[in-house]
Amino acid sequence: MIDERELEAAVAAGIIDVAARDRLVAFARDHRRGTAGPDEEQFRLLTGFNDIFVTIAIGLVLFAVSSLGAAVADALGPALVAAASWGLAEYFTRQRRMALPSIVLLLAFVGGVFMTVVVAGAPARPAPTMGALWPIAATVAAAVAAWLHWRRFMVPITVAAGAAAIGGGIVLTVGAALATTWGNDALLPLVLVLGLATFGLAMMFDSRDRARVTRWTDVAFWLHLLAAAAIIHPVFAMTGLLKSTPAPGAALFVIIVYMLLTIVALAIDRRALLVSALGYVIYAIQALVRTGDNVSLSFALTALVIGGFLVLLSAAWRPIRARVLALLPANVTNRLPVATA
């Protein structure tokens, strides 16, 4: 598939002009609307089996580099992983444009930078304050690393990795001050706010590409996955669902929330919210239909209920989504992906 960079390079090389590029982009957008369309929520993970082959090879190389470096100095292992990941990305990401290896190399680079700072600061923690601040410094370094990687390679998942690093730094900073007094539950509202902020960022990228034909839709996809996890867990944890014996009211509330999430997912044409909440809603339904000590029977009934619902939803996704969009004001639908027949 020809991407934006190749089209820009073709224009720079004089192979096509700007008008031809714009017509080609418009044609690709209209063609996708008529075939797969935005409702299919496509994103690039594999360009072929060679992606898997190369990813396995990269994993072996990074493992070897990490082990050899750690044998010399603890911080050298992750530092070499970060350096090797960047070097390999120069070929497999920048030149070959391979999807899965690019994702693995980005995560290895950011993770390597994070662990380098953490391990390097391990001996330098004479006081509890320093021990609390050092992971925060590591998250800042990881966020900067993600930004530099984005500037160079523009791998779609990079924005989500940077957002996760920034969010993690904020949670660690606040947690260092509150967790000892209020406990970890005090961080749940903060995680929820960060999740909503990430969701807003994802919607900003989605609004740039309503037809979902450019890299911005892939950027939004990974942001939606991150936002969904950060939103779903605090909401359901604060209901008391995660207690050993959740109250029936909590389970019912979770199911109602899942129905609302279904409407939101249909409106924005993203299934990440539904997938992230799936484990919680299965647990909630199982708590309601549990029949004595017969766990297998209650789980089977739960699987039947939620599985049947998702099968019907997936089969009728487009017409249901079109009806949901019809209920929304025009100034909202004009920012959402187009509905296809």
Tens digits of residue pLDDT in 153-189:
989 999 999 999 999 888 888 876 766 666 667 788 8
DSSP 224-275: HHHHHHHHHHHHHHHTTTTSSS--HHHHHHHHHHHHHHHHHHHHHT--HHHH
Q: How confident is the model at residue 250 (pLDDT cuts 50, 70, 90)?
A: confident
- Return the closest-CA partner of residue 195 out of 156, 166, 153, 215: 166
Instruction: Report the distance separating Cα 144 and Cα 158, nearest Å.
Output: 11
Tokens of 175: 């947690």
Strand-pairing partners, residue 291, are 294
Cα–Cα distance measured from residue 6 to residue 91, given in angstroms and rounded to the nearest whole number: 16
Share of the chain above pLDDT 70, in %: 77
Q: Where are the domains of the chain?
A: 1-35, 45-238, 240-341
Amino acid, single-letter form, for residue 122: A
**Distance (Å) of CA 87 to CA 64, 95, 102, 119, 287:** 15, 12, 12, 22, 50
Evaluate if pTM is beyond 0.85.
no
Q: Which two tokens stand for residue 251?
A: 């389970």
pLDDT at 142 over 50: yes
Question: Percentage of the chain with pLDDT > 90?
Answer: 33
Instruction: Write down the pLDDT at residue 127.
Output: 47
Residue range 227-249: mean pLDDT, rounded:
78
Question: Mean pLDDT score of the chain, rounded to an integer?
Answer: 82
Q: Which tokens hold the place of 163?
A: 């957002």
Closest CA to 117 of 152, 189, 169, 163: 169
Q: Is 291 helix (H, G, I), strand (E, B) or coil?
A: strand
